[in-house]
Amino acid sequence: MIKMVAFDLDGTIADTILFCIEAFRKAVEPYAERPLNEREIINVFGLNEIGMIKSVLNSHHEEAIRDFYFWYEKLHVKCLNPYNAIQDIFSYLNSRNVKVALITGKGTESCNITLSKFGMMNKFCDIKTGNEDKPNKADSISRLLTKHNLKTDEFIYIGDAVSDVLEARKAGVICLSAAWGENADVKELERINYQNIMYTIKQLKEFFRDNLGDKNNV
């Protein structure tokens, strides 16, 4: 029986990835003194924004981090709401006594900015944010399992990235791949996680309906 579902944020709950990249570029390029391409930025995803900046810049870390938060909040007007119906899933899971958590690679400050913009600060029973030194989603999952006294088959993680699948497997739990975002690498997700791909949020709703024994109320 599913007792907890944890969601990724960027690309899973909302279409935030492109403006995250833009904010990073605007914050870092003046100190790098060269243009950054999108692939270079995406390659350091998995670390929080502090780790991302430190991995690209040799100096001026504090200034770039300060500028990143300025641009991140300013550019958030490009994404004012989560994906349609995603909060309906949160409500449905809560109605079935399933806890809803958040596990993101974002840092605490950028995570809080987004949750505040979306009016979602109180939507999650637990929030785990990223690490500047290494990807830490597997560790976050393990901490949630221990804290909430859950078995691995009572927990599901939902994320849009290939790395989300790999991190979930490290922790011994299922990852449902959120393939509804524009930036999801659907072909690679199909290659490594073909049995657990959710192409639409509607399909995710149906998954929970079928697995929580409630075929009429999603």
Look up the pTM and report it: 0.94
Question: How buried is 63 (Cβ within 10 angstroms: 0-12 exposed, 13-18 middle, 19+ buried)?
Answer: middle
Beta strands 126-128 and 99-103, pairing class:
parallel
Whole-number pLDDT of residue 215: 56
Q: Mean pLDDT across the stretch 142-154?
A: 98
| One-letter amino acid of 143 | R
| Structure tokens that stand for 159 in this block | 């994320």
Band the pLDDT of 53: cuts 50, 70, 90.
very high
Extended beta strands in the chain, E state: 4-7, 99-103, 126-128, 155-159, 174-178, 197-198
Q: Is the pLDDT of residue 84 over 60?
A: yes
Q: Is the pLDDT of residue 82 over 70?
A: yes
Q: Is the pLDDT of residue 5 over 80?
A: yes
Give the gyration radius of the chain's Cα atoms: 17
Q: In the chain, where are the structural domains located?
A: 4-15+81-211, 17-78
Domain 4-15+81-211 has CATH 3.30.470.10: no
Band the pLDDT of 217: cuts 50, 70, 90.
low
